[in-house]
Structure 1
Amino acid sequence: MRAKRSSGGSPTVPSSLTKGQNGALATNDIIVTVALTAAADLSALLVKADGKVRSDNDFVFFNQPTAPGARLHDGALSLALDQVPGDIDQVRTVITLADTAATFGGSAAPTARVADAAGNLLYEYRIDGLSSESIVIAVEIYRRGDAWKVRAVGQGYAGGFAALVTDHGVSVDDEPAETPTVRTVPDEAKLSLEKRQKLNLRKRVVAEVLHKGGAAGVRARVIVVIDKTGSMNRLYKQRVVHRVVERMVPVATQIDDDGQIEPYLYAKSFARLPDIAVHEVEQWSDTYLHLNGVHEGIDYRSIGGLNDEIPIMDHIISTVRRGDANPTLVLFFTDGGFSKRAEITRLIQQASSLPAFWQFIGLGNANYGVLIQLDEMDGRVVDNAGFFAVDDIDRIDDTELYRRLLSEFPDWLRAARGAGVTG
C-alpha cells in the first residue's frame, strides 16, 4: 500500500499507533490488513455498544465473507462505514493463527494497517508484547459521534477462537467442526510475506472444500492442461491464463505429493512443460504461457492453433495405471471447440477404469460440445469427469472457484475406491 499524500501531492509517512492510541478517519471507505510471518486468518465482529453482535450474520470470516458494510477478500477487510448499520458501534478485527498449536510469541510481531480505498496507508500498528496467544483483536473501528475512528487494541485471547466469538454473542456448535489441516510445502518459505499471506488464504479455502467433501488429507497427482488455440488470444494477452495458473497452485500444495503442478499446453498437439513450483509461478507463467514463438527450446508453432483434444487426453491416459499409489486429478482449461464427440466419449469411458478424475473448466461462453453432457454419459465404471463454465473467471472469488473446481473430486474418489479403481 502507498503512503498517504499531503494536499500538495507529496507522500507522507502514515501515523504509527501504539497500544490504546486512536486516530480519526476522514474517509468512509477503508481497508484493514495485517502483515505477519505466520499463516493466519483475518475476521471481524460487528458489535453494538454492549460489545455483542446483533446476530451471527455480524461475524465476518472465510466461510461468511460479508456483512452490512463489511467484506473480507484476498486477506483484507474492506469497510464502507457509511453502510454499517446505525446500531453497530464497533468493528473489531481479529487475527487467528492457522496452526492452533502455534502462538504469536513464536514469530515476528504482526502489523495491522489501515488504508483508504485507493490504497493510501493511513495508520499502522505493530502489535508488540504477544506471547502465548494464538488469537488477537488487532484494531477496532468505532463510532465517535457522527464520525469514525480507529483504535490500536492488540488484545490477546487465551480462551481460544470459540470463546472469543461466544463472548461477542456469536452462537457456536456445542461440538465444533474439526478444523481442516492446511498443508505447507517447503518452497513457500521463498515467497515474499505478501505473497505468502495470499497463498495461505487460498490454501485455507482449498483445505476447507476438501474437508467438507470428506477428502481431507488426500494425495493426488495434479495435472493442469491449458488450451493454446488462437481463440484464447485475449485470455493470454490480458494475462487471465496467468492468473488461472496462480490460483491452481494452492490446489497442488494441498493435494500433490510434492506440492507442484504438472502442466501441459495443447492445441493440435501438446507440450509437456516444466513443473510449477509454488515460489516460481510468476516467472514460470512469463516464460511458458505464450501462443507463438520459441521459448526455452519449445517451438509453440508446432503445437498448432486449433483444437484437438485426443492427443493430450491419450497421452495423459497412457501415464495412469490402475493400482497407482495416488490418483490423478486433471484440471483441463479450455474455451471450447470440442467437436470430436465420439472419440472424446470413448476416451472418457476408457479412462473410467483408471484412477484419474477429469475436471473440465470452460473459460468464456463458447461451444463445449460433449463436455456439457458428461453427467449423462453412460458406459463408465464410475463417473470420472465434471464440467463447469465461467464467463469471466476473474469475477469468481476463491471460495466459489475452489468449491466448483473440487466439489466432484471427493465423490469420484469414494466411488472409485468402492469400484476398486483406486486404493
Structure 2
Amino acid sequence: MAELARGENTTIPSGPVTVAVAGARQGTVDLMVFQLGADQRVRSDADFVFFNQPASPEGAVRLVAADRIGVDLAAIPAGIERLSVAVALDDSVPGSLSAVPGLGVQIAHTAGETTAPALGLSTERAAVLLEIYRRNGAWKLRNVSAGWDTGLSALVVHHGVQVDDQPASAEPAAVAPPPAVVDSAGVRTVAGEAKLSLEKRQRLDLRKREVAKVLLDKGAAGVRARVVLVIDKTGSMHREYTSARIHQVVERMVPIAVQVDDDGTLEPYLYAVSFARLPDIAVHDVESWCATYLHLGGVHGGIDYEQIGGYNDELPVMGEIISTLTAGASMPTLVLFFTDGGFHKKGPITALMKKASGLPAFWQFVGLGKANYGVLEKLDTMRGRVVDNAGFFSVDDISQVSDAELYRRLLGEFPDWLRAARAARIVG
C-alpha cells in the first residue's frame, strides 16, 4: 500500500474510488467534500457534500457513512477540476485536530490502495486532508494536511460556500483578506505586512520598491502573475542550507510575490529525485516557514525529506508545474527555479521546455555557485520553441548580490516574454 507524505501526489485510474477517513465521526469530527471548479471554489452550495446534503447534484460524490465517501470519477462533471476532502471539529468539541488519534485517509481505487496520513497539524480545527484533482486528462491524489485554526466557518468560506448565519464574533480569518493597497509609486502592500516588525517592514518596503522599479523600467508596471518558487534539495546544497543562504533567498523572493501575485504569496516546491509541494509562503510567516521546511533530511512539517531524495532529477517537478498550466489562461506564471547544478538530461529537458513554450509560464533559472548547469547554459540558442520562455544566470554567492542587481536579473526577461506570449495568444 502506497503512502503519501504531506504535499506528495500520485496518479490513480478513473473509475470508482472509496475514501475512508480514520477519526471522522459525525458530531465530533465531521467529514465533508467540496466540488471545485477552475477557480478553486464551488459552483454553488450544492457542490458542498456533508451530512445534511450527502450527495452532489449529479450523484458522483456521496457521503455513504460518517467516515466514508464514495466517488465515481468517471461521472464527475467536466466543469469540476478538484474534490477537496476535509474534516472539521464540531463547535462542541474542544482542542484541535492534532488530538484526533490516527487521523488520515485511506483511498481504495481500481489499481489498489493509497494512504494519506494527516501530518503536520497543530492548532487547526478544520483541515483539507486530501485533494483529488485532474491533470492532463488523468486523476491524481495529493496529501494536503493543511487547515484553519478558526474551524468550519473559515473552511467553507475559503471554498466559496455561502454562510448565512455566521456569528457576529466570527474571527477575521474566516473572511477573505482585504485587497492589496498600491501607493503612487506602484508599490503594493498586502495583508500580513502589519504583523512584521518595523525593521522587517522597512527592509521589505525597500525590496518591493526595487522590484517595482525593474518592472516599471521594463514597461510591466502593475503586471499580475502567479509566482512559483522551486528550490534544489540535493546533498550538494548542504552549504547553502547550513549557512542559511537559501533562507535568505526565500526572504528575497517574497517581495516579488507581493508586487505581482494577486494574494502576495509564493507557491513553493522542494525537489531532488522527487519533489514536495509545500504550503504557500505568506509575507508574515517567512521565518517560521523557513524553519519548518528548509531541510535536507529528516521529517519536518509532516514531510519525509528522505523520500524526496538526494540527487538531481528536474523532470518530475518541472512536469508537475507544467501540468498546472493551461494555454490561453489570462494569468501568467513566473517560475523562479534555484539550483546548484544538474540538468544533465539534455534531450528530455529540451523536449519539456519546447512543450512548455506554448504554455503561460516563464521559467527563470538561477544557478547557485560554480557548477555545470548542462542544458540551462544553452537556453538562449534552443530552437523549436513558440516563444523564448526561459532565462538563466548563475552567481558565485547570491548573498553578495545586491537587491537591485538580483531583481534586475530575475525579472529582466519576464516582461519581454509576457509581451511575446500575449502576441502568440499563449496568455489570454
The bucket for the TM-score relative to the shorter chain is: 0.5 to 0.7
Question: Structure 1 residue 362 and structure 2 residue 370: aligned?
Answer: no
Question: Structure 1 residue 244 and structure 2 residue 249: aligned?
Answer: yes
SS of equivalent residue, structure 2 residue 325: coil
Give yes or no for contact 2:232–2:338 (8 Å, CA) kept in 1. Answer: yes
Question: Structure 1 residue 333 and structure 2 residue 338: aligned?
Answer: yes
Aligned to 1:419: 424
In structure 1, runs of 5+ residues without a counterpart are 1-177
Write out per-residue CA displacement over residues 155-191 of structure 1, whole angstroms, 9 at most, x where no aligned residue.
xxxxxxxxxxxxxxxxxxxxxxx97410110111111
C-alpha RMSD of the superposition: 1.0
Give yes or no for contact 1:360–1:386 (8 Å, CA) kept in 2. Answer: yes
Aligned to 2:114: none
Q: 2:379 aligns with which of 354, 357, 374?
A: 374
What one-letter code is carried by the residue in structure 2 that aligns with 1:344? I
Q: Say which one has the larger Rg.
A: 1
Give yes or no for contact 1:180–1:216 (8 Å, CA) kept in 2. Answer: no
In structure 2, runs of 5+ residues without a counterpart are 1-182
Q: 2:201 aligns with which of 196, 199, 203?
A: 196
CA distance in 1 between partners of 2:255 and 2:340 (Å): 23
SS of equivalent residue, structure 1 residue 331: strand
Q: Under a length normalisation based on structure 2, what TM-score does the superposition of the two structures give?
A: 0.57
Aligned to 1:213: 218
Aligned to 2:118: none
Aligned to 1:345: 350
Question: How far apart are 1:296 and its partner, in Å?
Answer: 1.3
CA distance in 1 between partners of 2:394 and 2:322 (Å): 23
Question: How far apart are 1:323 and its partner, in Å?
Answer: 2.1
CA distance in 2 between partners of 1:209 and 1:421 (Å): 23
CA distance in 2 between partners of 1:277 and 1:346 (Å): 34
Give yes or no for contact 1:213–1:410 (8 Å, CA) kept in 2. Answer: yes
CA distance in 2 between partners of 1:312 and 1:411 (Å): 25
Greater mean alpha carbon deviation, residues 317-326 or residues 307-316: 317-326
Give yes or no for contact 1:225–1:332 (8 Å, CA) kept in 2. Answer: yes
After TM superposition, the structure 1 = structure 2 runs for residues 113-262 of structure 1, keeping only pairs within 5 Å, are: 180-262=185-267
SS of equivalent residue, structure 2 residue 257: helix
Give yes or no for contact 2:329–2:426 (8 Å, CA) kept in 1. Answer: no
Count of residues in correspondence between the two structures = 246
Q: 2:404 aligns with which of 399, 402, 409?
A: 399
SS of equivalent residue, structure 1 residue 263: strand
Write out per-residue CA displacement over residues 209-260 of structure 1, whole angstroms, 9 at most, x where no aligned residue.
0011111111100000000000000100000000000000000000111000
SS of equivalent residue, structure 1 residue 307: coil
Dislocated runs of 4+, deviation >2 Å: none
CA distance in 2 between partners of 1:275 and 1:407 (Å): 25
Give yes or no for contact 1:330–1:356 (8 Å, CA) kept in 2. Answer: yes
Give yes or no for contact 1:180–1:211 (8 Å, CA) kept in 2. Answer: no
CA distance in 2 between partners of 1:184 and 1:347 (Å): 36
After TM superposition, the structure 1 = structure 2 runs for residues 2-81 of structure 1, keeping only pairs within 5 Å, are: none
Aligned to 1:291: 296
